[in-house]
Structure 1
Amino acid sequence: MMEGNKKIKKISDLAEILREIRSGKKLVLCHGVFDLLHIGHIRYFEQAKKYGDILIVTVTPDRFVNKGPERPAFPENLRAEAIAALDVVDYVAINEWPTAVETIHILKPEIYAKGSEYKDVKKDITGKIIDEENAVHAVGGNIVFTEDIVFSSSKLLNRNFSIFPEETRTFLAQFSNHYSSEDVIQYLRQAEKLKVLVVGETIIDEYNYCEPIGMTTKDPIIAVKYISKEKFAGGILAAANHLANFCHTVDIVTLLGEFETDEAFVRENLNKKITPTFFYKRSSPTIVKRRFVDNYLTQKLFELHEINDNELDHDQGSLLDDVLREKLPNYDVVVVIDYGHGMLTKDLIKTICDNAKFLAVNTQSNAGNRGFNVISKYSRADFISLNRSELNLEERNRHCKLEESIAHVSKKMSCPKILITQGKSGNIYFDADEGFVNTPAFATQVLDRMGAGDAVISLSSLCAFQSAPKDIVGFIANAVASQAVATVGHRKSIEPVPLYKHINTLMK
Structure 2
Amino acid sequence: MSSSYRSEADRIREQLPKNGKIVFVSGYFNILHPGHLRMIYYAAEQGDRLVIGLIAKPKDHPSSTLPDNDRKIALQSISCVDDVIVMWHGLDALLNDLKPEVVVMGPEHRGKNPAEERLVESYGGHVVYSSGASAPLAPNGENGSDSGTYRSNILKPIGYLDRHQVTLEQLRRYICGFKDLNLWVIGDTIIDEYAFCDAVGMSREDPTIVVRPLKSNFFLGGAGIVAGHARSLGAKVTFATVTGKDEPANFAEDALKKLDINGIVIRDEFRKTTHKKRYRAEGKTMLRVNNFTEQAIEEEAQQQIVAAFEKKAASIDAVIFSDFNYGILPQSLVETITRIAQRHNILVAADSQTSSQIGDISRYRNTWLLTPTEREARVALQNSEDGIVNVAEQLRQKTQAQHIYITLGGEGLLIHTTDVPEGSDEAWNNDRLPAMNQSPKDPAGAGDAMLVMSTLVLAGGGTIWEAAYLGSIASACQVGRVGNIPLKPEEIVRELKHEEHV
Q: Note the C-alpha offset of 1:486.
A: 0.1
Mapping of residues 252-401 of structure 1, within 5 Å: 252-264=239-251, 266-268=253-255, 270-294=257-281, 296=282, 298-356=283-341, 357-367=346-356, 369=357, 372-401=358-387
Q: Does 1:446 align with 2:440?
A: yes
Q: Note the C-alpha offset of 1:482.
A: 1.1
For the residues of structure 1 that align with 2:382 and 2:370, how far apart are their CA atoms?
18
Change (3 A) 1:63 1:270: farther
Q: TM-score, normalised to structure 1's length?
A: 0.63
Q: Note the C-alpha offset of 1:172.
A: 5.9
Kindly provide the CA deviation profile for residues 63-112 of structure 1, in whole angstroms up to 9, marking residues without a partner as x.
Answer: 33457445xxxxxxxxxxxxxxxxxxxxxxxxxxxxxxxxxxxxxxxxxx
Give ranges in structure 2 of 5+ residues lacking alignment: 1-55, 61-144, 421-428
2:372·2:407 contact (CA, 8 Å) conserved in 1? Answer: yes
Task: Letter of the 1:485 partner, please give it.
Answer: V
Q: Does 1:420 align with 2:434?
A: no
Task: Letter of the 1:376 partner, please give it.
Answer: S
Q: Note the C-alpha offset of 1:268.
A: 3.5
1:209·1:227 contact (CA, 8 Å) conserved in 2? Answer: yes
**Aligned sequence identity (%):** 20
Q: Note the C-alpha offset of 1:240.
A: 1.2
Q: Does 1:216 align with 2:300?
A: no
For the residues of structure 1 that align with 2:173 and 2:255, how far apart are their CA atoms?
31
Provide the alpha-carbon RMSD of the alignment.
Answer: 2.8
Kindly provide the CA deviation profile for residues 291-332 of structure 1, in whole angstroms up to 9, marking residues without a partner as x.
Answer: 1111x2x21111111211122233433434433443445411
Change (3 A) 1:332 1:209: same
Mapping of residues 77-96 of structure 1, within 5 Å: none
Residue number in structure 2 paired with 1:480: 474
Q: Does 1:236 align with 2:229?
A: no
Change (3 A) 1:175 1:444: farther
Q: TM-score, normalised to structure 2's length?
A: 0.64
For the residues of structure 2 that align with 1:179 and 1:455, how far apart are their CA atoms?
21
For the residues of structure 2 that align with 1:270 and 1:402, how far apart are their CA atoms?
42
2:363·2:399 contact (CA, 8 Å) conserved in 1? Answer: no
Task: Letter of the 2:365 partner, please give it.
Answer: S
For the residues of structure 2 that align with 1:375 and 1:169, how far apart are their CA atoms?
29
* 4+ aligned runs moved over 6 Å, structure 1: none
For the residues of structure 2 that align with 1:237 and 1:67, how far apart are their CA atoms?
29
Residue number in structure 1 paired with 2:491: 498
Task: Letter of the 2:304 partner, please give it.
Answer: L
Kindly provide the CA deviation profile for residues 373-395 of structure 1, in whole angstroms up to 9, marking residues without a partner as x.
Answer: 11122232111112222212222
Task: Letter of the 1:408 partner, please give it.
Answer: Q
2:256·2:262 contact (CA, 8 Å) conserved in 1? Answer: no
Q: Note the C-alpha offset of 1:169.
A: 5.3
For the residues of structure 1 that align with 2:273 and 2:360, how far apart are their CA atoms?
23
Task: Letter of the 2:200 partner, please give it.
Answer: I
Q: Does 1:63 align with 2:56?
A: no
For the residues of structure 2 that align with 1:250 and 1:410, how far apart are their CA atoms?
28
Q: Does 1:170 align with 2:158?
A: yes
For the residues of structure 2 that align with 1:456 and 1:66, how far apart are their CA atoms?
23
Task: Letter of the 1:463 partner, please give it.
Answer: V
Give ranges in structure 1 of 5+ residues lacking alignment: 1-11, 17-60, 71-163
2:231·2:261 contact (CA, 8 Å) conserved in 1? Answer: yes
1:309·1:342 contact (CA, 8 Å) conserved in 2? Answer: yes
Task: Letter of the 1:390 partner, please give it.
Answer: E
Residue number in structure 1 paired with 2:393: 407
How many residue pairs get matched? 349
Q: Note the C-alpha offset of 1:219.
A: 3.9
Q: Note the C-alpha offset of 1:265.
A: 5.1
For the residues of structure 2 that align with 1:506 and 1:453, how far apart are their CA atoms?
24
1:324·1:351 contact (CA, 8 Å) conserved in 2? Answer: no
Change (3 A) 1:465 1:417: farther
Q: Note the C-alpha offset of 1:340.
A: 0.1
Residue number in structure 2 paired with 1:155: none
SS in 1 for 2:486: coil
